[in-house]
C-alpha cells in the first residue's frame, strides 16, 4: 500500500514537472486568447477542424517556447526562490531533453499552423516564439524595458487566431493585440513589484527593481490600466461588438483601474496582490463578454 | 541529490508527449487532406 502511494506520488510529480516545463497555465491562457481571436475573426459557419488545427498548433508552439525559455534560463532560475524548484534547476530533468522537446514542439506547432491555417498565421506564431526567446529572454538581464518587449509575444496569440479564421490582418485584429498588450503591463508590474527582491537575486532588471516604495510602479500601472480602459471600449464603438459590451468593458476597466489607484495609495504587498488578482479576473471576463456580444 | 531514475522517467514521459503531439498533428493534417479545401477568405 505504501509502495503504491509512493509510486502514485512520483507519477504525479513527473506529470507536474512536464506541466511546469511547458508552463501549462500560461500556455492555456495563450490558447484562450487564440480561441477568442479565432471566434472574433470567424465569419459564417464555424470551421471546427480549422479551429482544432489552430489551437493545437498554437499549443505546441507555446509549450515549445516555454520549454526553450526554461532551458535557456536554468542557471538563473536556480538563483530565485520562485523558480528554483523547476525541473531543470532542481536537476529532475536532463537539460538537453528540455532543449530537444522545445525545438520539436515549437517547430511542429509552426508547421501545423502553416498546413492547417495559412502562412501568415505560421509567421505570426514564429514571430511569437522568436521574440519571446531571442529578444525578451536575453533582455531580462539587460534592460528593465523587457516587460514592454515581453508583452509583444504575449499579445500576438489573438492575432494568430484571427488570421487563421480570416486569412489576413485588419483593424479588429490590431485592437485585440493592443488590449492584450496593455493588460499585461499592470499584471506584470504587480508581480514584478511583489517579487522584486527575488528578481534582483536572479539578475533580472525589472521596472520595479529600484522602486522600493512602489510609487513609480503604481503610477505606471494606473497609466496602463487607463489606456486599457480606453482601448477596450473601441470594439463597442466600431460595431465589432454590441453596446452591452461597451458598458460591460467600461465597468470592468473602471474596476481594474480602481485597483491600480488603490495600489498607488496604499503601496503594500496586499494592494499589489489585489491588482494582480484583479488582472486575472478582468481578462477572462472581458474576453467572454467580447465573444458573447460580437456582431458577426 | 536527485536520483538518475527520476530523470530517466521524465525522459520517457517527454518521449510519450512527443509521440502524442505527432499523432494528433498527423490526424489533423490527414482529416484536412481528406476534407479538401474549404477556405472562403
Residue pLDDT, tens place only, A208-229: 777 888 889 999 999 999 999 9
The DSSP bridge partners found for residue A241 are A294
pLDDT at A296: 79
pLDDT at A4: 64
- Report the distance separating Cα A229 and Cα A224, nearest Å: 9
- What angle do the packed helices A48-72 and A157-166 form, to 10 degrees? 150
Q: What are the grid coordinates assigned to A74, written together?
A: 536554468
Question: What is the helix (H) or strand (E) element at residue A265, kind and residue range?
Answer: helix A243-266
Average pLDDT, chain A: 92
Contact A60 B39 (CB under 8 A): no
Residues of chain A above pLDDT 70, percent: 96
Average pLDDT, chain B: 84
Q: What are the grid coordinates assigned to A259, written together?
A: 485597483
- Report the distance separating Cα A134 and Cα B8, nearest Å: 30
Q: Whole-model pTM?
A: 0.90
For residue A104, the chain B residue with the least C-alpha distance is B18
- Report the distance separating Cα A68 and Cα A64, nearest Å: 6
pLDDT at B41: 58
- pLDDT one-digit tens code per residue, A141-185: 888 888 899 999 999 999 999 999 999 999 999 999 999 999 999
Question: Rounded to a whole number, what is the distance in Å from the CA of B41 to chain A's nearest CA?
Answer: 6
Low-confidence ranges of chain B (pLDDT < 50): none
Of the ranges A16-20, A206-210, A245-249, B14-18, which one carries the lowest mean pLDDT score? Answer: A206-210
ipTM over 0.90: no
Nearest to A119 by CA among A158, A155, A159, A164: A164
Q: How many CB pairs lie under 8 A apart between chains A and B?
A: 74
pLDDT at A136: 93
SS3 A18: helix
Question: Rounded to a whole number, what is the distance in Å from the CA of B19 to chain A's nearest CA?
Answer: 11
Check: CB of residue A39 under 8 Å from CB of residue A241.
Answer: no
Contact A91 B9 (CB under 8 A): no
Amino acid at each position: 500500500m505504501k509502495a503504491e502511494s509512493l509510486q502514485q506520488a512520483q507519477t504525479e510529480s513527473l506529470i507536474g514537472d512536464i506541466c511546469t516545463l511547458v508552463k501549462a497555465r500560461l500556455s492555456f491562457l495563450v490558447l484562450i486568447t487564440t480561441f477568442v481571436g479565432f471566434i472574433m475573426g470567424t465569419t459564417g459557419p464555424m470551421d471546427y477542424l480549422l479551429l482544432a488545427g489552430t489551437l493545437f498548433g498554437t499549443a505546441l508552439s507555446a509549450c515549445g517556447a516555454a520549454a526553450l525559455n526554461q532551458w535557456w534560463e536554468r542557471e538563473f532560475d536556480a538563483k530565485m526562490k520562485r523558480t528554483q524548484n523547476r525541473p531543470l534547476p532542481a536537476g529532475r530533468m536532463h537539460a538537453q531533453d528540455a532543449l530537444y522537446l522545445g525545438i520539436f514542439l515549437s517547430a511542429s506547432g509552426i508547421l501545423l499552423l502553416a498546413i492547417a491555417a495559412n502562412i501568415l498565421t505560421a509567421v505570426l506564431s514564429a514571430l511569437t516564439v522568436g521574440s519571446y526567446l531571442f529578444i525578451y529572454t536575453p533582455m531580462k538581464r539587460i534592460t528593465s524595458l523587457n516587460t514592454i518587449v515581453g508583452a509583444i509575444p504575449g499579445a500576438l496569440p489573438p492575432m494568430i487566431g484571427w488570421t487563421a479564421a480570416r486569412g489576413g490582418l485588419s483593424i479588429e485584429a490590431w485592437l485585440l493585440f493592443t488590449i492584450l498588450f496593455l493588460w499585461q503591463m499592470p499584471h506584470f508590474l504587480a508581480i514584478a513589484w511583489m517579487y522584486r527582491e527575488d528578481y534582483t537575486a536572479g539578475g533580472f532588471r525589472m521596472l520595479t527593481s529600484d522602486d522600493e516604495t512602489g510609487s513609480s510602479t503604481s503610477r505606471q500601472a494606473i497609466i496602463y490600466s487607463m489606456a486599457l480602459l480606453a482601448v477596450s471600449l473601441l470594439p463597442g464603438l466600431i460595431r465589432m461588438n454590441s453596446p452591452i459590451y461597451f458598458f460591460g468593458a467600461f465597468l470592468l476597466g473602471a474596476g481594474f483601474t480602481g485597483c491600480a489607484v488603490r495600489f498607488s495609495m496604499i503601496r503594500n504587498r496586499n494592494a499589489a496582490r489585489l491588482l494582480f488578482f484583479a488582472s486575472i479576473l478582468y481578462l477572462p471576463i472581458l474576453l467572454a463578454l467580447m465573444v458573447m456580444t460580437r456582431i458577426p | 541529490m536527485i536520483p538518475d531514475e527520476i530523470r530517466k522517467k521524465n525522459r520517457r514521459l517527454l518521449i510519450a508527449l512527443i509521440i502524442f503531439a505527432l499523432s494528433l498533428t498527423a490526424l489533423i493534417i490527414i482529416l484536412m487532406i481528406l476534407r479538401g479545401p474549404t477556405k472562403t477568405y
